[in-house]
Amino acid sequence: MDLVPLLVSLLYQGLTIAAFLILCSIGLMIILGMMNIINLAHGEIMMIGAYVSTILVSSGLPFFATLPVCFIVGCLTGYLIEQLFIRHLYDRLLSALVVTWGLGLILAQGTLLIFGPFMPSIEIPFGSIQYGDFTFSVYQIFLVAVAFGTLLGLHILFHKTPIGLKTRATMQLPEVARTIGIDQHLMYSLTFSFGSGLAAFAGGVLAPTTTIAPFMGTQFVAPAFITVVVGGAHNIITGTLYSATALTAVKTPVGMFLGAFAGTVGLFVAALILIRLCPNGLSSIKVFRTR
């Protein structure tokens, strides 16, 4: 076996795992960073995204055209949740957490009642390429591009646009941001719907790689939560990036030698050790802080 294809294969595995972690966690991270609320219905919102794209594909739309629809449906769902529930619980964060969880149960079971336990899966686009002894899925490489592209887009949004400046101001010191005329509640509802939109988009874009079922959200929940916990809420982009990198370094070897479930357990153990060393997340380490 040649060394170069082996290294390429390792790189491929690492990047796809990192892309998966980034896609799963980015929507959650934005909401957490801004509002300090963990959206426990996150997995269900990803599930909604996957359902939207599956339903549209089976009614004849091309797969890539469904992704913007996923995003919009996610935004609307998030907006409704924020307006109806979260808004009233800003001073009770743990209660907000429990409410999103109750909503998650309703969404998952409601989907089961309406659409039944199974959905036809979407065919993976693009096919695969052969290099050395290894086969690589082109769609997985596309997902890597999407994940890092999303991070880059968010970086531009947060650091180069006026709305990004307002967002960062509200994140940093909400009271001061209010005194200079930033509508904090508006920023919160925008953030919550944007984060939910990204989650649904991620669900849609990951849909071809997984089985579509009402409780599919749970498979995203563990990696997403672990990434967010390790990354911390200090900086959305660097937090996600460093956390995904560190966790990939754990999951790739463990998953390769001991299987996928051991990989996830490895993630959990790594998260426990990392929060013990760095309780506020990797994004709070001085060297990494860019805010």
- From candidates 6, 106, 156, 165, binder to other proteins by CB under 8 A: 106
Comparing CB distances to other proteins, the nearer of 280 and 290 is 280
Q: Which of these segments, 143-151, 195-203, 238-246, 276-284, binds other proteins (CB under 8 A)?
A: 276-284
CB of 129 to other proteins, least distance (A): 32
Q: Report the residue number, 156 or 272, with the smaller CB distance to other proteins.
A: 272
- 29 vs 146 by CB, closer to other proteins: 29
What gap in Å lies between CA 83 and CA 101, rounded to an integer? 16
Is the CB of 19 or the CB of 108 nearer to other proteins?
108
Q: Is 172 in the site for other proteins (CB under 8 A)?
A: no
**Residues pairing with 129 in the sheet:** 136
Contact characters 240-269, other proteins, x per CB under 8 A: ---------------------x--xx--x-
89-98: long-range contacts at Cβ-Cβ below 8 A with a sequence spacing of 24 or more?
A: 90/35, 90/188, 93/36, 93/37, 96/37, 97/37, 97/38, 97/40, 98/40
> Which positions ≥6 away from 85 have C-beta within 8 Å?
96, 99, 100, 103
The length of the chain, given as a count of residues: 291
What's the rounded Cα separation, in Å, for the pair 59 and 64?
A: 14
- H or E stretch including 134? strand 134-137
The radius of gyration of the chain from alpha carbons, rounded to an integer in Å, stands at 19
Q: Contact letters (x/-) for other proteins, 60-99, by CB under 8 A?
A: -------------------------x--xx--xxxx-xxx
Site for other proteins in 201-220 (CB under 8 A): 218
CB 119 within 8 A of CB 126: no
Phi, psi at 203, each rounded to 5°: -60, -40
Among 8, 72, 141, 275, binds other proteins (CB under 8 A): 275
Find all residues with CB under 8 Å of 4, minimum gap 6, and list them.
Answer: 132
| 228 lines the binding site for other proteins (CB under 8 A) | yes
Total chain residues near other proteins (CB under 8 A): 46
- C-alpha dist (Å) from residue 158 to 78, 86, 165, 194: 20, 23, 6, 13
210, two tokens: 């997984």
- In DSSP terms, which residues pair with 130 in a beta bridge? 135
Instruction: Choose between 268 and 288: whose C-beta lies nearer to other proteins.
Output: 268
We find the least distance from the C-beta atom of residue 215 to other proteins, in angstroms, to be: 8
Least separation in angstroms between residue 99's CB and other proteins is 5
The stretch near other proteins (CB under 8 A) out of 29-37, 116-124, 181-189, 235-243 is 29-37
Positions touching other proteins (CB under 8 A) are 32, 36-38, 40, 85, 88-89, 92-95, 97-99, 101-106, 108-110, 112-113, 218, 221-222, 225-226, 228-229, 233, 261, 264-265, 268, 271-273, 275-277, 279-280
